[in-house]
Amino acid sequence: MKKSILLLFTFLITVVSFAQEKQKRDLKLNKDTNLIDAVYYHENGTVSQTGSFNADGKLQGQWLSFNTEGEKIVSANYANGTNVGKWIHWIEGKKKVVNYDNNVASL
């Protein structure tokens, strides 16, 4: 049950964070990595997310999510749009770690 709730939470964070069409963002080509670095902002101006996209527009590398107070709430890793490696969620001040292998989560 805990795994299901944590996976659902991960999915919702990802969907909600990237589905906001009116969210302010800055995009910049990183010539060293050939990735597009992105910074998204909350309505109050604080950073909501940071990360990179590859040339195909897929999530790549580390993405960080922050709440409206600027506190880190998720550290996620992607490879060509696929969830990989260690993801860390801070829920009510407690650190929860999820590991992804072949896009499958394990606690």
pLDDT on residue 4: 45
Between strands 25-30 and 104-106, the pairing is unpaired
pLDDT tens across 52-80, in order? 999 999 999 999 999 999 999 999 999 99
pLDDT tens across 77-99, in order? 999 999 999 999 999 989 999 99
Whether the Cβ atoms of residue 25 and residue 36 lie closer than 8 Å to each other: no
pLDDT tens across 10-65, in order? 554 554 555 545 779 999 999 999 999 999 999 999 999 999 999 999 999 999 99
**DSSP string covering the chain:** -HHHHHHHHHHHHHHHHHH-TT--EEEEEETTTTEEEEEEE-TTSSEEEEEEE-TTS-EEEEEEEE-TTS-EEEEEEEETTEE-EEEEEEETTEEEEEEEETTEEE-
How far apart (Å, rounded) are the C-alpha atoms in residues 45 and 69?
10
Q: What are the φ and ψ backbone dihedral angles of 24, each rounded to 5 degrees? A: -70, 140
pTM for the full predicted model: 0.77
pLDDT on residue 3: 53
